Amino acid sequence: MKLDVDVLRYLTKEDFRVLTAVEMGMRNHEVVPSELVERIAALKHGGTYKVMKNLLKHKLLHHDASKYDGFRLTYLGYDFLAIKTLVNRGVFSAVGRQLGVGKESDIFEVATEDGTVMAMKLHRLGRTSFRAVKSKRDYLKHRSSFNWLYLSHLAALREFSFMKALEEHGFPVPNAIDCNRHCVIMSLVPGYPLVQVKQLENPEIVFNTIIGLVVRLAEHGLIHCDFNEFNIMIDDDEKSTMIDFPQMVSVSHRNAQMYFDRDVECVFKFFSKRFNMSFHECTADIDGSAVDTDDSGRPSFTSVAKDTGFLDKELSASGFTKKDQEEISKFIEGGIKKDASSDDEDTEDDEYISMLNEANTIGVDSLHMVDQERYSETVNNDYDVELVKRLNKVRQNAVTVARGGQKTFASRNAYKDKGGKSSNSSKVQRQLSSW
């Protein structure tokens, strides 16, 4: 999907308010009813339908009238919400060219006011080339239903957490700067992907360094799971940097040895084909770590000393037992900072939008992955008390309207959708009354 940020400068405060209202409604709706969007947005002078019509024109919303008149966010609309929040925080002020396209993300250049260039990674799970995320990733855990935007948010939060922790433990990774929704801001890594490098002055040194990174990760309790020439950056001094971390798992994962051997095999296979290296000699000392190897010189997973650190448990990587999860949950609960919100009922528009945007970054400071239930509970209890009160009031009013408790007043900009059904149809009322 093309990211055209020129549209961003023409969007008004009301546009972002309606986008945020749709985002809130998608927490428990696949398609958010039109009436619910209007009530959550609560524009002072009405005109919600006119705003939604403008957002539809720019493809920030998608209209769905198959079951009832409703809307959902597109990835472009989600991009704009994340970019707007990060710009308001002062993280960056300009978006530049596209650096790369992956099977589950897009990467762009961003710059600060003083000219510092960084990288912005937008996770886009659900593409045609990568829709089997439920079987290939463990973001869902025990949940049976999911939303692609929420899964992208989980992937971004997970990558930011791993990147921050690995940087603190001395691994060569980009500097994690900030995270919001499905967007991760990191330092721009100098150099090129290893797959684009045709010649190295010291391929043996680079090879031992890269294999050493795989072993060091295992010693800290983690396995990259996608460690190949596409996710390794090489600069002019032939220094290696790891990228792309959402798929990392624990060494106690049931398939940990398979993932470890696959990462090692990818490195061996690439250097053998690209640089014609032979591996008959036993590499008993790889990057300063004494590791047993097999006949071909490949590190053995069973011989890796996995007692250097416990990043898998600290970051809630997949693979450990339920008992371990309970112990880590206590640590997570103690690590999350609570901040009581104000109880004042009169909130300005800027504060209202800012409060909604800040709720999307809960849990980043503690660098722990939390599941959807804990995420929703924490946000509701700690960060947006006033917002939850308003949303509950909106739901009560909607139920009252659906049961005939009061008359509805259509917006002056109300319109009929393509199917010719009114936004106040009986299907919408039945949907609201089923809450």
Considering only CA atoms, which of 19, 11, 14, 77 is closest in space to residue 43? 14
Rounded to whole angstroms, how far apart are CA atoms 168 and 177? Answer: 13
H-helix or E-strand spanning residue 374: helix 372-378
Q: What confidence tier does 158 reach under pLDDT thresholds 50, 70, 90?
A: confident
Considering only CA atoms, which of 4, 311, 318 is closest in space to residue 170? 311
Three-state SS for 303-355 is HCCCCCCCHHHHCCCCCCCHHHHHHHHHHHHHHCCCCCCCCCCCCCHHHHHHH
pLDDT given at position 214:
93
pLDDT digits (tens, 9 = 90+) for 89-110: 999 999 999 998 887 889 999 9
Rounded to whole angstroms, how far apart are CA atoms 393 and 389? Answer: 6
**16 neighbors 81 (Cβ within 8 angstroms):** yes
**254 neighbors 190 (Cβ within 8 angstroms):** no
Angle of CA points 182, 61, 429, to nearest 5°: 115
pLDDT digits (tens, 9 = 90+) for 301-313: 888 877 666 777 7
pLDDT at 232 over 90: yes
pLDDT given at position 149:
87
Tell me, rounded to whole angstroms, the distance of Cα 192 from its chain centroid: 24
pLDDT digits (tens, 9 = 90+) for 36-69: 999 999 888 778 889 999 999 999 999 998 888 8
DSSP string, 83-133: HHHHHHHTS-SEEEEEEEE-SSEEEEEEE-TT--EEEEEEE-TT-TTS--H
CB atoms within 10 A of CB 50: 17
**412 neighbors 17 (Cβ within 8 angstroms):** no
pLDDT digits (tens, 9 = 90+) for 402-427: 565 544 444 444 444 444 444 445 55
Q: How far is CA 8 from CA 89, 117, 118, 204, 291, in A?
A: 16, 20, 20, 48, 53
Rounded to whole angstroms, how far apart are CA atoms 284 and 298? Answer: 10
pLDDT given at position 372:
42
Catalytic positions = 226
**95 neighbors 5 (Cβ within 8 angstroms):** yes
Place of tokens 């072993």: 215
Domains delineated in the chain: 1-73+334-435 (1.10.10.10), 89-188 (3.30.200.20), 192-314 (1.10.510.10)
pLDDT given at position 402:
58
pLDDT given at position 258:
92
**Which strands make up the sheet holding 240-242, listed edge to edge?**
192-193, 232-234, 240-242
Whether pTM > 0.75 for this model: the answer is no
Name the more confident of 389 and 192. 192
pLDDT digits (tens, 9 = 90+) for 255-292: 889 999 999 999 999 999 999 888 755 444 454 455 66
